[in-house]
Structure 1
Amino acid sequence: MALLYFKALSDETRLRLVHILLHYELSVNELVRILDMGQSRVSRHLKILTEAGLLTSRRDGLWVFYATPRAGEERDFLLSISPFVHADAAMRADLNMAAQMLEERALKTRQFFNAIAEDWDELNREVLGAFDLPDAVCAAVPKDCGMAVDLGCGTGAVLARMLPLARGVIGVDGSARMLEICRRRFTPEDLSDDRVSLRIGELSHLPLRDQEADFACINLVLHHLSDPLHGLREIRRIMAPGGRLFVADFLRHSDETMRNRYGDRWLGFEEDGLAADLKSVGFNTLTCTRQPVDRGLTLLILTAEAH
């Protein structure tokens, strides 16, 4: 197999692709932009690397994303040769451009949510219909809960309902406008006595201390992240041992209109894949249920415990 791997890496462009994709998962169009090459040429190199097992591809609706394998012989091989691959100016430029593109993604997401903040509750009702998501979250909050956190709290519909159930609540969102609207749900006393803390920040770099949360929920947020696994790893960092996590997100679907109307990055998740990701970052999945909602979509609702 080593001969097959070395043959696949014998081309400069393919070596650059592997170098990029060891760090990021990217779409074909994003790779075309980074390498400044024609799509057919880039696709041909991606096919060779994928057939050799050095890349994996993931179709998400109309988009196809590529990355290096997360585990296995191929991953071990790539990591073993990495110290011997000299990152020249072109490779360094590739990574810089990829990082810039991810920042552009995050900026567009912030702008999107700032723009639709006033309409967000109505947009949520279009999808959730009669399903009471805040009630489902509250049912999962442990008794005598210390600090409860809503990650991607939006306008605060869930956060306000959790407040009577915990010593204090923290709401985190990347949209300043969303947090402004969220603030209106609470009294000045709630906001001044540290029972409610609203923090602006990205889910990839949460503005919370290690093990600060006894309970956390992340509702319809993972599908907006460029790297959901990294987001889950960051959530594990802020969870106290034995802390409970509530995750609600879409089951894998093919409704492309969700990208434009709701700013979705991923068209949902497979149940087994999401459970495996939770396990890989340090959670034990306790329950997993499916909840049909509107627009022909289904929610995956998982509870997990940090170990």
Structure 2
Amino acid sequence: MLLKSMELSVGELALVLGQSQPRVSRHVRILCEAALVERHKEGSWVFLKLNAIGAGEGLLGVLEDHADDASRAVFAADAIRLAEIRAARAAAAERYFAALADRWDSIRSLHVPEAKVEQAIEAALDRGSLGRLVDIGTGTGRMIELLAQRATEAIGIDRSSEMLRVARVKLDRSGIAGVSLRQGDMYALPLADDSADTVILHQVLHYAHSPEAAVAEAARILAPGGRLLIVDFAAHQREELRERDAHARLGFADEAIHGWFALAGLEADLTRRLEGGELTVTLWRAARAPTAKRMAA
């Protein structure tokens, strides 16, 4: 019932339930073996989420509809402690975010307002449903916040556990439920082949020392007919971003992105530039051919 509200770590569950971690871990293992709960590692933490497929939904319905007064009292008490977990997460996230805010603001000041970038992103993903959405390098979770309502499922992946904690707080405050946030590397995504319908790399690729490998890995998880959208800077000469902000690449030429799309088996179908600042933001979109066309080729 707690995992219905939000993803929780084993340690957080132990705090809410007032039980030892070994005891909680034993029960979690049983739930995982029954395919009711999924677990994923994030640094030294293990996070848990309800399995979206299987008997879990029916079991939750039974618990909600037939719980007696004593059980409902337990649920209510747990909800109070769950609020304390949310508050602790928020405090930690705000401390981390405050340390980075000045740096991010200085970069944003170099290009068109973020609102215009987000409008362009929504326009580039113009079809109704986004299906299973994967945001690589999710950061604060802003792309999921923007697009989750159009997705059947949303997954955010980031290498930084601190950033994932910021994203959890942000998405929780926005009332966006059912999002899975996972720690992972852009070069080795923790997802199966052909498992995503829409993949986004938003202001991530310039951190990649091997951007062609990151594009290939994003293409690997893309299902036939799916789309990959890259949002990043056009090629520029702001060398201080490399030295001060760890940008491995000073933007990208269209030819480079299109070449990596082709190598990954994707067909570029949109390139849009957003000029108006010292840095130009560009949107590059590509699609994987449906199965029939890919086999014919």
For the Cα contact (< 8 Å) 2:272–2:284, is it kept in 1? yes
Matched to 1:233, the amino acid is: A
Matched, 1:235 2:194: no
**Unaligned ranges ≥5, structure 2:** 1-95, 290-297
User: Which residue does the alignment assign to 2:287?
Assistant: 305
SS of the residue 2:231 aligns to: strand
SS of the residue 1:184 aligns to: helix
User: Which residue does the alignment assign to 2:121?
Assistant: 137
Q: Distance in 1 between matches of 2:276 and 2:241?
A: 14
Matched to 2:144, the amino acid is: L
User: Which residue does the alignment assign to 2:165?
Assistant: 180
Identity %: 31
User: Which residue does the alignment assign to 2:261?
Assistant: 278
TM-score, length-scaled by structure 1: 0.57
Q: Distance in 1 between matches of 2:102 and 2:140?
A: 10
Q: Distance in 2 between matches of 1:177 and 1:203?
A: 16
Matched, 1:162 2:156: no
Q: Distance in 1 between matches of 2:135 and 2:279?
A: 23
1:127, CA displacement in angstroms?
3.4
1:138, CA displacement in angstroms?
2.5
1:262, CA displacement in angstroms?
2.3
Matched, 1:197 2:217: no
The Cα offsets for residues 111-140 of structure 1, whole Å up to 9 and x where unpaired, read as xx9995555653453234424223322233
For the Cα contact (< 8 Å) 2:145–2:174, is it kept in 1? no
Matched to 2:231, the amino acid is: A
For the Cα contact (< 8 Å) 1:114–1:177, is it kept in 2? no
Q: Distance in 1 between matches of 2:208 and 2:271?
A: 21
Matched, 1:225 2:205: no
RMSD: 2.4
Q: Which moved more, 1:114-123 or 1:258-267?
A: 114-123
Aligned length: 192
SS of the residue 2:171 aligns to: coil
1:304, CA displacement in angstroms?
0.8
Matched to 2:188, the amino acid is: H
Structure 1 runs of 4+ aligned residues shifted over 6 Å read: 188-191
Q: In structure 2, do the counterparts of structure 1 residues 228 and 167 end up closer, same or farther at CA, with 3 Å as the change threshold?
A: same
SS of the residue 1:187 aligns to: helix
1:179, CA displacement in angstroms?
0.9
Matched, 1:263 2:238: no
Q: Distance in 1 between matches of 2:237 and 2:174?
A: 45
For the Cα contact (< 8 Å) 1:121–1:155, is it kept in 2? no
